[in-house]
Amino acid sequence: SAVKHGCDHVFFVGFLGAGKSTLARNLGRMFHRRFVDTDRLVERRCGSTVTKLFEEFGEERFRELETAALEGLRGERSLLVSCGGGIVETPRNIELMHDMGFCVYLDGDLDDSLRQIRRSDTRPDFRSAEHAARLLEHRRPLYEQAADLTVDIRGTSFTDVSYTVAELL
């Protein structure tokens, strides 16, 4: 992938439950590249969890912390970065990803996400399917704006998605 400003990260964006972290972690193992997840970076920096941060400080503050975590990757090289599903809500984040590397959009169906949401309570207001559906429709153009490559993961095996993305590494 092209080295820009000294970085050549690959960012994975997509709605909650699209499998960003799983794919990035496994590709990191396969290709011996370090894997980071922006939610985990925020949690480590704040000593709290994403859910608590939303509850205690609200989404606006969480988005500031998310951008700070992304900015913090400037000094690193060749990372695989799994990004929280809402990272594209902040225009600056799209600029940062384009500055620091290559962005892959894992484009999946809502039901992939709903299954994931029902299993975890990453964010209380995700619990309603209607809310998630509206949010995904609001975000789809943002994911597409961010994406240097869109991978349709509907009915695509993890292996096939891995091979598609591996060509970037």
Extract the annotated binding site for Mg(2+).
Answer: 21
- The verdict on 84 binding ligand S3P (CB under 6 A) reads yes
- The verdict on 9 binding ligand S3P (CB under 6 A) reads no
**Of the two residues 28 and 86, which places its CB atom closer to ligand S3P in the complex?**
86
Least spacing, CB of residue 122 vs ligand S3P, in Å: 4
Compute the distance between CA of residue 161 and CA of residue 155 in angstroms, rounded to an integer: 10
90 token code pair: 């902040």
- The verdict on 19 binding ligand S3P (CB under 6 A) reads no
Compute the distance between CA of residue 73 and CA of residue 37 in angstroms, rounded to an integer: 11
Terminal-to-terminal C-alpha distance of the chain:
6
Least spacing, CB of residue 77 vs ligand S3P, in Å: 23
- The verdict on 50 binding ligand S3P (CB under 6 A) reads yes
Compute the distance between CA of residue 88 and CA of residue 168 in angstroms, rounded to an integer: 21
Phi, psi (5° rounding) for residue 6? Answer: 80, 0
What DSSP character marks residue 47?
T
* CA triple 59-98-149, angle to 5 deg: 100
- The verdict on 16 binding ligand S3P (CB under 6 A) reads yes
The answer to whether 51 and 123 have CB atoms below 8 angstroms apart is yes
Among 23, 41, 70, 86, binds ligand S3P (CB under 6 A): 86
Least spacing, CB of residue 18 vs ligand S3P, in Å: 7
- The verdict on 108 binding ligand S3P (CB under 6 A) reads no
Among 123, 142, 147, 161, binds ligand S3P (CB under 6 A): 123
Among 8, 39, 107, 112, binds ligand S3P (CB under 6 A): 39
The answer to whether 104 and 151 have CB atoms below 8 angstroms apart is yes
- Binding positions for ligand S3P, rule: CB under 6 A: 16, 39, 50, 84-86, 122-123
